[in-house]
Amino acid sequence: MRPRALGLLLGLVAVPLALGGQLRLDRTPNLSGTWVVDPGVLQFNFLHRFYVFPAAQQHAVANFPTFTFALGLPARVNLGTRYSTHSETPDHGNEIELYGRWRVLGGPTAPVAVSVTPAWNAIARSADGELSLDWTHARYTLSGAVRGMTKPFGAKPAKAALAGGAVIRLNNYVAVAGDVASFLSPDSTQKAAWSAGIQVVIPGSPHTFSLHASNVTVNTIEGSSKRGSFSSKQGGVRRVAANVLYGFEFTIPFHFKRFAPWFHSGGGAKAVAAGEPGAAAATVRMAQLKFQADSIAIGAGQIVRWVNADPLEHTVTFDAPDAPPGSPLIPMGGSYGVRFDKPGAYTYHCTPHPFMKGVVVVK
């Protein structure tokens, strides 16, 4: 492994950029996975970790936030930034990582997905990058990542890191997940990183929540590649190893497309106003976090209506760029109709719950 070459390679892939792992049931606490936000969605992930000092130091608490903002663009590309207040560079300032993610491989029904994430760590002045891979089968997702950094934590030499993790979905609302990561040529301070947690879909909302333990403080490409450490005021100016931090993450998607229809070009179909009675050639119930008829066939010019029977919001979001415009968030008890004018197979998913998948075949 040549870390510098890898970092360069990932940096060169730059132009279509993207991000990932917005849904907590698809990824582990420290890995971003391969998932990208849908076009017209701004994702805000609020990650907060804390360290409790031992009794001798009055159980003082140190806080470690990492905020992620990511904007979904067409062609499975995201642009994003991660911000944290406890960088491990020598000046311990605020860490800002600008990144893109491009999901180069993997549709909603493919078991394997691959994403490329070039990034710039502004405080370390390091070109970073990650190549991530997910393999999903039924209730399991296995994730792996190869990372490269030209100047990790502001110091040469360039380094590479490997990470791996697994998610097991116990049901449609709850998953357990964990991961490990390590530099390939660690120095004496760079111990392996780990995390373990419970990931939850919050019923009645498009939000997911993660409750976890980890030894990582800053959840950037650099920060999540080794055990964290931080300055201890209680102990004077010295570095403390973050053996166990507890934390949570809350994921919040903002759907711009309900305000901005110009995110979608239209294609061969026209959305029919939600709640319009009759006229539908087929109805798909959304219940228990599933499209109850995951494959339906209609004729060209006919209408499909989705009815939300769940106590939370769903969307019908088509995967292909030339597909009909997707729906806004469909509230509990709401419905949404789409007319399909052109023959073809239209795969779709739900934005807040990407594991909800279906296809409309138009003959």
Task: Specify the residue, 131 or 323, whose C-beta has the smaller distance to Cu ion.
Answer: 323
**Residues making contact with Cu ion (CB under 5 A):** 314, 350, 352-353, 356
Residues 148/115/102/190 CA torsion (nearest 10 deg):
-30
Q: Give CA–CA dist 29/165, Å, rounded.
A: 9
Min dist. Cβ of residue 114 to Cu ion (A) = 24
CB of residue 31 vs Cu ion: minimum separation in angstroms? 22
Give least dist CB 352 to Cu ion, A: 5
- Least separation in angstroms between residue 57's CB and Cu ion is 45
Q: What are all long-range contacts of 80-85, with beta carbons under 8 Å and residues at least 24 apart?
A: 80/19, 80/43, 82/219, 82/220, 84/217, 84/218, 84/219, 84/220, 84/223
Q: Is the CB of 77 or the CB of 350 nearer to Cu ion?
A: 350
Rank residues 178 and 352 by Cβ distance to Cu ion and give the closer one.
352
**For residues 248 and 150, is the Cβ–Cβ distance under 8 A?**
no
Amino acid in the structure at residue 157: P
Give the phi and the psi of residue 263 in degrees, each rounded to 5.
Answer: -70, -15
Residue 255 or 353 with smaller CB distance to Cu ion: 353
Cα–Cα distance measured from residue 165 to residue 142, given in angstroms and rounded to the nearest whole number? 6
Which residue, 96 or 287, is less far from Cu ion as judged by CB? 287
Rounded least distance, CB 281 to Cu ion, Å: 23
318 close to 342: Cβ distance less than 8 angstroms: no
